[in-house]
Amino acid sequence: MLSWFTGDARGYGTWLAGHPDEFVVLIDRVARLADIPTDAAGRPHLAVAVRTHRVLHRASGAEVAGPTADHLRICGPHDELVASFEGEDLPRCDRCLRVDPTA
């Protein structure tokens, strides 16, 4: 089952404690339209913004241990997380996921 947490949601710490072997996708929250890259005509590149700012981590990784007000976190089993992105590229953290978790 996937769980979603935004900002400094308290339930996240409880989830981490209960699912040390699962995974977390960190997605930068684009809070302001001005933060989204635009094309020459000034139209926002939404796909680019989403694609560029998400990273898959192990739940045990240091990068996802602390509170962060600036990210959306999607948490759950590896295969279910990957499937939820329906084939879209899901970059892996080069620190906690140097080794393929499914290998």
Is 25 a binding residue for Zn ion by CB under 5 A? The answer is: no
Residue in 44, 61, 77, 101 binding Zn ion, rule: CB under 5 A: 61
Is 28 a binding residue for Zn ion by CB under 5 A? The answer is: no
Is 101 a binding residue for Zn ion by CB under 5 A? The answer is: no
Q: How far is CA 31 from CA 7, 69, 75, in A?
A: 11, 11, 21
Bridge partners for 44 per DSSP = 38
93: Cα within 13 Å, side-chain hemisphere: 19
User: Considering only 13-21, 37-45, 71-79, 89-97, which stretch makes contact with Zn ion by CB under 5 A?
Assistant: 89-97
User: Considering only 15-23, 46-54, 65-73, 95-103, which stretch makes contact with Zn ion by CB under 5 A?
Assistant: 95-103
Cβ closest to Zn ion, residue 17 vs residue 41: 17
Which residue number places its CB atom closest to Zn ion? 93
Contact 12, 57 (CB under 8 A): no
Q: What share of the chain is helix, strand, coil (3-state, %, to 5)?
A: 25, 25, 50
Q: How far is CA 12 from CA 18, 24, 99, in A?
A: 10, 11, 25
Residue in 3, 63, 77, 101 binding Zn ion, rule: CB under 5 A: 63
Binding site for Zn ion (CB under 5 A): 57, 61, 63, 93, 95-96
